[in-house]
A = this chain, B = another copy of it.
Amino acid sequence: MNLVLLEPRERGGPLPAADVRTRHVLEVLRRGVGDRFDAGIVDGPRGVATISALDAAGLHFRFEPTVEPPPLAAITLIVATPRPATAKDVLRDATTLGVCAIHFVHAERCTPSYATASLWTAEAVGEQLRLGAAQAFDTRLPVVTWGRPLAAALAEVATNMPVVALDNYEATVALGALRPPAPITLAFGPERGWGPRDREQLRAAGATLAHLGSRVLRLETAVTAAVAIVAAGS
């Protein structure tokens, strides 16, 4: 936790004593009354908080904003809903990397039970986003949606920007050779690959197919690799 992220309504404090952030400030950072720690308002400024008191109500502080973080990268992800542990890693790491939106969608060969996991609540998703942003020293969180079919997410993004679908099987060009500039949507299929109906929908959305080489990567690794390649070229 490089940055303690506060919701706008928490800006005036106090943070409850049992809150994970309070414990981080007191136990990991070992701060006390009068000490300062790096903090930020979700989707607002980054700054410094000074601890003014510690009591039964929790950690009282004064937040002083110092800088407004730059906007997120114009990189959108469409991800066929993976198993929850993988989805958590993707949420956290893609947020750390600074993408502006992540849409978890239903594709033809998705495992249906993954979409009904307990992860898919605003609270549980938000926790991963805040972890990812705090790691990056950023306050900005990507827009995240889940539960829609692939076609719905494609319809939303494809009018605004090109779509590149990562594909191990039919792509003939490497993402590193393509180096598509942002704004861009990168689409990642399920473990068992895109199905024929998915491919039709990707074609209808004008998507280009690209690969990340002949090695089969875990989804988390593929997302980080692809975002890094696009960000490096932008």
Please give the residue numbers on chain A whose beta carbons come within 8 Å of chain B beta carbons, in ascending order. 2, 93, 96-98, 135-138, 174-177, 179, 212-213, 215-218, 221, 224-229, 231-233
Contact = CB atoms under 8 A, between A and B. Distances in A.
Given A97-B217, A218-B93, A232 B175 contact: yes
Nearest to A138: B215
B215 A136 contact: yes
Contact of A215 (B96, B212, B221, B233): B96
Taken together, the copies of this chain in the complex come to 2
Main secondary structure of the interface of A (DSSP, over half): helix
B218 A135 contact: yes
Contacts of A177: 232
A221 B225 CA distance: 9
A217 B137 CA distance: 9
B96 A218 contact: yes
A233 B228 CA distance: 12
Contacts of A227: 225
Contacts of A137: 215-216
A43 to B, nearest CB: 16
Contacts of A212: 228
